[in-house]
Amino acid sequence: MASTQLHPCDWRGLIRSGIHDPGDLPPSFSGDPDALGEVARVYPMRINRYFWERLLEKGEPLARQVIPDPRELDDTAGLEDPLGEEKDSPVLHLTHRYPDRVLFVVTLECAVYCRFCTRKRKVGRAGGVTDDTIRAGLAYIAAHPGIRDVLVSGGDPLMLSDTKLGGILESLRRIPHVRVIRIGTRMPGVLPRRITAGLIRVLKKAHPLFMNLHFNHPEEITEEVRSAVEKLADAGIPLGCQTVLLRGINDRPEILERLFTELIGMRIRPYYLLQGDLARGADHFRTPLETGLGILRALRGRISGLALPALMVDLPGGGGKVPLCPDYVVQKEAAAWTFRNYLGRPYRYPQPE
Ligand SMILES: *Cc1c(COP(=O)(O)O)cnc(C)c1O
Ligand code: SF4
């Protein structure tokens, strides 16, 4: 066993042999290496070997998500804690904002560090999540019978070993009021080799378990990704996807149409399309609110409703998530409302007498 653990091609090896410093980027990517070095000292960089190779094949849409950009340090609009998570944290690394569910951060590590990450202030830094904070989180959940749904998040929870993740899931399963466990992870799309038979065994024991994956661009989907996702779906895990709307990367209807229809083809249901939040250092990725609305309007009716996520704005200051919907109502009268359908044609719906 020990020798397979050290094999350079297992998932941990692919992380170790990845790119962790802008100085290791080929000149065509690094621009001004000193400037990028400065960025990476503030916001850590990591591109694992698998994702790096895909990035070399696919270029821009992958590169821009993970290569540091000097604009990260110029951002004065952004907020350190854009969603006000800390003020709703009764214990460190657990956010309890809604009555029946909590967000439980179990690691601050990821297989790539996305430059637009909401938790830029935390990810990739030492000394955050410890066995003690995890124990405290579990104790808090056990002590609050109103919590039905635990969203295990990070960082990326699949960075934990099978044993460690399995231990957390088992502890959650032993709490009778916890109905649903959710895991939020980008791993199947950025390091598909992490989806091992051993991991699947651990996940299957945690049912009812849901997973929300993270894909932003159709070029992230490869044969290896498909087979990793297939293993998860075959394990009976309902799969969702949270996509971040990113300026210049996926903010066009044609790109998201390709992404969303590919996803349902892999049994992943697009769940949320997230408007960029105000994370400090990520302002250059934000799109105007109209962009997301325009995309939804363009896709509604054109692609399967199954493939259409809800557009969500996570409000700054801890207001939580609200959906943003294109308005199809043209006029509201006592007797009838008038709508416009996806082709822009007007239709009347009479109210009951
Ligand atoms: C997004 C989020 C949730 C989960 O919200 P859903 O709409 O149920 O997916 C829970 N807690 C916090 C703090 C969140 O940000
Ligand atoms: S994988 Fe998720 S938590 Fe990690 S850096 Fe990317 S967006 Fe942030």
Is residue 13 included in any domain, yes or no?
no
> How many whole angstroms from 102 Cα to the centroid of ligand 1?
7
- Is residue 135 situated within a structural domain? yes
Contact 99, 175 (CB under 8 A): no
- Its pTM stands at 0.95
Instruction: Note whether residue 230 is domain-resident.
Output: yes
Q: Is the CB of 321 under 6 A from ligand 1?
A: yes
What's the mean pLDDT in 80-104? Answer: 92
35 located within any domain:
no
Nearest residue by C-alpha to atom 8 in ligand 1: 101
pLDDT in tens, 220-241: 999 999 999 999 999 999 999 9
Residue 230 is part of a domain; what is its CATH number? 3.20.20.70
Least confidently predicted of 1-15, 35-49, 89-103: 1-15
pLDDT of residue 80 exceeding 90, the answer is no
Residue 349 covered by a domain: no
304-341 pLDDT, tens per residue? Answer: 999 999 999 999 888 899 999 999 999 999 999 999 99
pLDDT over 50 (residue 5): no
Rounded distance between C-alpha atoms, residue 190 and residue 47, angstroms: 9
Counting residues of the chain whose pLDDT is more than 70, the rounded percentage is 97
Q: Confidence class of residue 21 from pLDDT cuts 50, 70 and 90?
A: very high
Position 168 scores a pLDDT of 98
Domain assignment of residue 132, given as a range? 76-323
| Domain annotation covers residue 319 | yes
Mean pLDDT of 158-178: 98
Residue nearest (by alpha carbon) to ligand 1 atom 3:
103
Minimal-distance CA residue to ligand 2 atom 3: 155
Say how many Å lie between the CA of residue 44 and the centre of ligand 2. 12
* Ligand 2 pocket residue status of 119, Cβ below 6 Å: yes
Residue 238 lies in a domain: yes
Q: Is residue 16 part of a domain?
A: no
Closest ligand 2 atom to 186 CA? 1
Q: Comparing 154-163, 188-197, 219-228, 310-319, which segment has the lowest mean pLDDT?
A: 310-319
Judged against a pLDDT cut of 60, whether residue 59 lies above it is answered with yes
Mean pLDDT calculated for residue range 159-186: 98
- Counted domains in the chain: 1
**What is each CA distance from 332 to 198, 300, 341, 347, in whole angstroms?**
56, 22, 15, 12
